[in-house]
């Protein structure tokens, strides 16, 4: 994704006050910004694995330096970000990208074949899509989520789930898991990959 000129970056600044983009070490973020309320991020990750963690403070993308590139533009009141494998690297060899985002930030992830793990408490809508990549939402105890799942693959769960079959459509199943009050909407959709809502406290053994 190419960078847009001046005005777009001004809108980005209104949403995220850009702090730094230069990696200094393996632990340094590839991209970092202060996230103000409200904030909304659309992340495109065609290949490779992603780990989302909800954290206070800055929004940031952390990854092995040199393996990934980050491009970001503001568009329709959301920050659009594309994280891609750097030239000369293969998705299968690259370490996962970690996205750290405050819980009040809405997030939409457009993934591909890689696995996406979602951790933490969410206070804003969450939407994750892949083609064949696995999606796992690790639910915290006391979470208030309504999770809509869609896939032609299997649905993993530690909770009660209602599944509706949609014959000859893709994805061919729609599932709903309601945790607590179900106030926060989460949508996990894959064309064929497994999609799961698992309990964080049962993470050992998974």
Partner 1 sequence: MTIGIRSRGRLFATWLLASSFGAASVAFAASAPAPQDPGPVAPEGFRFERLEDAIKIEPGVRIEVLNLFGDVRARYGGRDDVLGLLSIAQQFADEGPEVEVVHRQDGDTLRIEVGVREREGAALHTVPEPGQRKRADLVLFVPDGRALGVRTGDGLVQLRGLRSDATARSASGDMQVRSIRGSLDLASDSGDLVVILESLGLDAEQRFAVGSGELQLHLREDGDYAVEARARGRIRTEYSLEVGPTGRDGARTARAVLGDGTTPVRIDAGVGLLRLLRKPSAEVARMAPEDDA
163 is an interface residue for partner 1 by CB under 8 A: yes
Nearer of residues 3 and 202 to partner 1, judged by Cβ: 202
203 is an interface residue for partner 1 by CB under 8 A: no
Nearer of residues 155 and 188 to partner 1, judged by Cβ: 155
Q: Minimal distance in Å, beta carbon 27 to partner 1?
A: 31
Residue 94, beta-bridge partner list: none
Number of Cβ within 10 Å of residue 156's Cβ equals 17
- Among residues 131, 175, 130, 183, the alpha carbon closest in space to that of 154 is found at 175
3-state secondary structure of 132: coil
Of residues 171-200, those binding partner 1 (CB under 8 A): 173, 175, 194, 196, 198-199
3-state secondary structure of 10: helix
Nearer of residues 48 and 175 to partner 1, judged by Cβ: 175
Distance CA 79, CA 5 (A): 14
6 is an interface residue for partner 1 by CB under 8 A: no
Distance CA 18, CA 152 (A): 39
> x/- string (CB under 8 A) for partner 1, residues 121-160?
---------------------------------xxxxxxx
Q: Count of alpha carbons within 13 Å of 10, Cβ hemisphere only?
A: 3
19 is an interface residue for partner 1 by CB under 8 A: no
Q: Minimal distance in Å, beta carbon 153 to partner 1?
A: 9
Distance CA 134, CA 111 (A): 10
Nearer of residues 122 and 173 to partner 1, judged by Cβ: 173
Between strands 59-62 and 135-139, the pairing is: unpaired
Nearer of residues 65 and 153 to partner 1, judged by Cβ: 153
162 is an interface residue for partner 1 by CB under 8 A: yes
Nearer of residues 56 and 167 to partner 1, judged by Cβ: 167
7 burial class (0-12, 13-18, 19+ CB within 10 angstroms)? Answer: exposed
Residues near partner 1, by CB under 8 A: 154-163, 165, 167-168, 173, 175, 194, 196, 198-199, 201-202, 205-206
């Amino acid at each position: 994704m190419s960078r847009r000129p001046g005005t777009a970056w001004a809108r980005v600044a209104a949403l995220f006050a850009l702090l730094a983009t230069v990696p200094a070490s393996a632990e340094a973020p590839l991209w970092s910004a202060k996230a103000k309320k409200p904030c909304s991020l659309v992340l495109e990750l065609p290949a490779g694995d992603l780990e989302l963690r909800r954290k206070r403070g800055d929004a940031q993308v952390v990854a092995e330096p040199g393996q990934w590139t980050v491009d970001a533009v503001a568009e329709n009141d959301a920050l659009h970000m594309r994280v891609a494998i750097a030239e000369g690297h293969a998705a299968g060899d690259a370490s996962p990208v970690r996205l750290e985002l405050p819980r009040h930030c809405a997030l939409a992830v457009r993934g591909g074949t890689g696995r996406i793990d979602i951790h933490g408490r969410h206070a804003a809508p969450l939407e994750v899509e892949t083609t064949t990549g696995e999606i796992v939402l690790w639910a915290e105890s006391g979470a208030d989520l309504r999770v809509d799942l869609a896939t032609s693959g299997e649905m993993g769960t530690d909770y009660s789930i209602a599944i509706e079959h949609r014959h000859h459509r893709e994805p061919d199943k729609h599932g709903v898991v309601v945790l607590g009050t179900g106030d926060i909407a989460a949508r996990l959709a894959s064309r064929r990959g497994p999609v799961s809502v698992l309990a964080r406290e049962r993470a050992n053994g998974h």
